[in-house]
Amino acid sequence: MDDKELYERALEYATKKHTGQFRKGGEPYIVHPVAVSLDLKNKGLPIDYQIAGLFHDLLEDTDATEEEILSLSNEKVLKAVKLLTKKKGYVMQEYIDGIKSDDIAFKVKTADRLDNVRSLSKADGAFIKKYVLETEEWFMDFSDEIKEEIKKAKETFRLD
């Protein structure tokens, strides 16, 4: 199966699993994993990264199983998705360390955080402030793009 077919199968699955879920702005949730995946594609990253981008919220937010994810991808994608999944009672430092230990997870989390920061205008003030502070505390060293987006968000929402 070529990359295009792999991606289409993964997109169909992710779309099905996120059906009925919506973002804070009201749009179907699938727009977020697609945006993450497209960001990775636009950066020239391989298909495994793009599929992990589509799948990054599945274990946390849907009834998707590890077996299903594995059947549509491979061990590297599944490992990244598992690292990106916050488990009940997780410790943030351990979560971040796990993400940083895997290049796919790291790149997906960077794209995920970027898309979420760029979408903050659709959230309420308390969430925006909390999300910006969390990003500053845990994700600023992920990329210069995150630093730039947080600076813009702080100016836009007058958080300083």
The token pair at 40 is 């990775």
Per-residue model confidence (pLDDT) at position 25: 86
Q: Exposed, middle or buried, 76 (CB in 10 Å: 0-12/13-18/19+)?
A: middle
pTM: predicted TM-score of the whole model, two decimal places: 0.97
Do 119 and 25 touch, CB atoms closer than 8 A? yes
The per-residue pLDDT for range 35-88, each reduced to its tens digit, is: 999 999 999 999 999 999 999 999 999 999 999 999 999 999 999 999 999 999
The whole-angstrom separation of Cα 57 and Cα 59 is 6
All domains in the chain, ordered by first residue: 3-156 (1.10.3210.10)
With tokens 């495994």, the residue in question is 48
The token pair at 126 is 């308390």
Interhelix angle 47-55/75-84, rounded to 10 degrees, is 40
